[in-house]
Amino acid sequence: MLNAKLASLSSPDQQTIVNLSPQVAIGGQQIIVIAGPCTVESQAQMELVATKLQAAPVQAIRGGVYKPRTSPYAFQGMGNEGLEILDRVRSTYETPVVTEVMAISQIEAIAAHADMLQVGSRNMQNFDLLKELGQVNKPILLKRGLAATLEEFVMAAEYILSHGNSQVVLCERGIRSFDSYTRNVLDLGGVVVLKQLTHLPVIVDPSHATGKRELVAPLAKAAIACGADGLIIECHPIPEESVSDARQALSLEAMVQLVHELQPVATAVGRTMAKVSKQPELVAA
């Protein structure tokens, strides 16, 4: 297939490990989970999320502060104020945080506060953004475009790699199809292909793939069973009240339970769930 000089797997044991922190590595034997709300809404919301999820444990917290919304009239995210909330959560709970970058002008501020910069589906082929992210000294979570082929996806990663940043994680989050029952179609075959074609870690987002909370856990398990290196999942203290993507948000309790249910699936495919949970005194409280 591809003319992906840097992203292609060149030997069977080649595997990139992307470090979110000294404790959190993506692409190794351990499965990692990134979880949190679609959108950062308040300090209190993010503290609840971080406190509960450390017990799961999850290895990183997500939350959008610049949101790509279909309607220009919908809430666009808290912007800089949201970044400051993420930063406080990051230092108080000693957890890596992941958030989306939509524009070149946002890179500097986000890179200063977050441990991983997410490129959303709608920007997968924003080549100028990708080139600029190639010069950032932070890991990039590259989500597959809404209707991107696997080749286009890998070549988008190649843009980042070829501009100097080797820390790229691919994320399958479902692709558009004809059925509206699910929000998208989760391409698990694509996950297997990506694992065979590239040495980059591959994670799965069953939340945006399905759009319905009751479909998230089964597909999260399927993703681990077919070789994904991790998951990114949306959850919220009061899911129905999420300002965005409420229908797909898990409760924090369901999120914790899902992490536990993933363990036997990981074992079945020779992996383990990462156990890093900082500050056990907070977990016990």
- Nearest to 106, CA basis, from 58, 147, 59, 68: 68
Q: Cβ of 218: how many Cβ atoms within 10 Å?
A: 12
Smaller CB separation from ligand PEP, 37 or 134: 37
Residues 9-48 that bind ligand PEP (CB under 6 A): 38
β pairing state of 60-62 and 97-100:
parallel
- Asked if 245 is part of the footprint of Mn ion (rule: CB under 5 A), the reply reads yes
- Asked if 129 is part of the footprint of Mn ion (rule: CB under 5 A), the reply reads no
Tokens 């989760």 correspond to 186
Residue 119: CB minimum distance to ligand PEP, A: 8
CA-CA distance, 211 to 215, in Å (whole number)?
8
| Residue 52 contact, options Mn ion, ligand PEP, none, Cβ 5-8 Å cut-off depending on partner type | none
- Asked if 208 is part of the footprint of ligand PEP (rule: CB under 6 A), the reply reads yes
Q: Find the binder of ligand PEP among 173, 183, 213, 236 (CB under 6 A).
A: 173
The answer to whether the CB of 100 falls within 8 A of the CB of 119 is yes
- Asked if 121 is part of the footprint of ligand PEP (rule: CB under 6 A), the reply reads yes
CA-CA distance, 160 to 167, in Å (whole number)?
9
- Asked if 171 is part of the footprint of Mn ion (rule: CB under 5 A), the reply reads no
- Nearest to 34, CA basis, from 74, 110, 86: 86
Q: Find the binder of ligand PEP among 52, 113, 143, 213 (CB under 6 A).
A: 143
Q: Find the binder of ligand PEP among 64, 77, 82, 134 (CB under 6 A).
A: 64
